[in-house]
Amino acid sequence: MIKEPDFSRAINGLLPAIAQDSQSNQVLMFAWMNEEAFRETVASGYATYFSRSRNKLWRKGEESGHRQRVIEIRVDCDADCILLKVEQIGAACHEGYASCFFRKLNNGEFTVDQQQIVNPDDVYSSANTI
């Protein structure tokens, strides 16, 4: 019986993590988790990821306040992908959208199919963008 994500299968210590809204089931974002991020997520009840660009733990919402309260954690059949069902507080996307998947392929072109819910300039300093 698998009891937790299998970080021995991780690439560079990282497993993919998907955040999904626990009410609507909308996919909000994709990120990476190392074992430390996973443990902190479990312990705190709030999503923590590993930022490859910053090479450190990334506590979702640490700057914007747009946190993810974890409702449920699942792993896939191989235990090498993590699904977080979350209560999203604010925008999941650093560009101000509810979901990072706000572009849709339509007739061969990607178009934006969501409204921004916050102005990124109002919540992020230019020095600390994702």
pLDDT digits (tens, 9 = 90+) for 17-61: 999 999 999 999 999 999 999 999 999 999 999 999 999 999 999
pLDDT of residue 127: 46
Kindly state whether residue 116 falls inside one of the protein's structural domains.
Answer: no
If you search the block for the tokens 């990607």, which residue do you land on? 110
Residue type at position 118: V
Q: How far is CA 111 from the centre of its chain?
A: 22
Domain of 66, in residue numbers? 7-90
What distances in angstroms separate CA 24 from CA 1, 84, 86, 109, one per listed residue?
30, 13, 10, 26
Kindly state whether residue 2 falls inside one of the protein's structural domains.
Answer: no
Q: What is the mean pLDDT of residues 117-122?
A: 91
Kindly state whether residue 63 falls inside one of the protein's structural domains.
Answer: yes
100-116 pLDDT, tens digit each: 999 999 999 999 999 99
Kindly state whether residue 113 falls inside one of the protein's structural domains.
Answer: no
**How far apart are alpha carbons 9 and 20 in whole angstroms?**
23
Kindly state whether residue 102 falls inside one of the protein's structural domains.
Answer: no
Q: Residue 61 belongs to a domain with what CATH number?
A: 3.10.20.810
Kindly state whether residue 67 falls inside one of the protein's structural domains.
Answer: yes
What total number of domains does the chain contain? 1
pTM for the model stands at 0.89
Kindly state whether residue 37 falls inside one of the protein's structural domains.
Answer: yes
Q: pLDDT higher for 123 or 17?
A: 17
Residues in the chain: 130
**The two structure tokens encoding residue 20:** 């999904």
**How far apart are alpha carbons 76 and 73 in whole angstroms?**
10
